[in-house]
Amino acid sequence: MESTVDKLDIQVEPLARDTLQQRVYDQVAGLILDGGIAPGQLVTIQSLADSFGVSTMPVREALKRLTAEKALTVVSGRSMGIPPLSLERLNDLRRVRIELEGSAIAWAAGSIGKDALASLDVDLERMDRAIASSSARDFLQANRSFHFGAYKASQSPTLVSLIEIVWLQISPYFNLLRGSGNYVAANANHRRMAEALGRHDPDSAREAMAADINDAYDILATLLG
């Protein structure tokens, strides 16, 4: 005997793509990427929930995800912070960054448009002003905007998302570079990148990117001893 299964007539509202948990994750990730949570600073689920005006549940889930991505770690009790950075891990991150970010900016050189190039120029000027005013926070925000503005021009969302995961692990330590003169050297490398992108020169863009990463690595490696 054949049996038939009737299709269920389910009438529900479509699920929102941008969930509260995702918004909280994006906010906390943004703080980490922009230097808002520096090495040695502690945060708690409750303090973040109070700041965002939400319950602790979405914050707890967002922090669990960031912990799995090695962007945060439990320091003591309910406090979380940036994971400690060893020289071995720093070297591994440097090698991965050169491959991923080098590929992204080389791809971008072949497709970047005038609007994206203009945005990079704005970020370069923002970093110059931040250096002049000794504002590490402003520099780091403009630095992130510059790099990811260039990477998004690669037209590879997959590659950009991988780079962001790596940046979540390394970018908090960019705070430690502010007294070294690295920000000035970094922006010189940034200008070389922007000029190479404007010429649609992938090799020069990749070379300038590697120099930016290696300059920061040398200083951080010295600080780590």
pLDDT of residue 25: 93
Q: What is the CATH number of the domain that holds 25?
A: 1.10.10.10
Answer yes or no: do 107 and 216 share one domain. yes
pLDDT higher than threshold 90 for residue 33: yes
Answer yes or no: do 113 and 191 share one domain. yes
CA-based radius of gyration for the chain: 21
Q: Is residue 109 part of a domain?
A: yes
pLDDT of residue 31: 92
The residue-averaged pLDDT of 46-55 equals 92
pLDDT higher than threshold 90 for residue 7: no
Answer yes or no: do 134 and 206 share one domain. yes
Structural domain span for residue 159: 87-224
Q: Which amino acid is at 29?
A: A
pLDDT higher than threshold 90 for residue 9: no
pLDDT in tens, 182-219: 999 999 999 999 999 999 999 999 999 999 999 999 99
Burial category of 17 from C-beta neighbours within 10 Å (exposed 0-12, middle 13-18, buried 19 and up):
exposed
Laid out side by side, the sheet with 43-44 consists of 43-44, 79-81, 73-76
pLDDT higher than threshold 90 for residue 78: no
pLDDT in tens, 88-99: 999 999 999 999
Q: Is residue 9 part of a domain?
A: no
Q: What is the CATH number of the domain that holds 96?
A: 1.20.120.530
d(CA 51, CA 73): 20
d(CA 139, CA 192): 18
Q: Is residue 217 part of a domain?
A: yes
Burial category of 7 from C-beta neighbours within 10 Å (exposed 0-12, middle 13-18, buried 19 and up):
exposed
Question: What is the model's pTM?
Answer: 0.87
pLDDT in tens, 88-146: 999 999 999 999 999 999 999 999 999 999 999 999 999 999 999 999 999 999 999 99
Give the pLDDT band (50/70/90) at residue 35: confident
Answer yes or no: do 65 and 113 share one domain. no
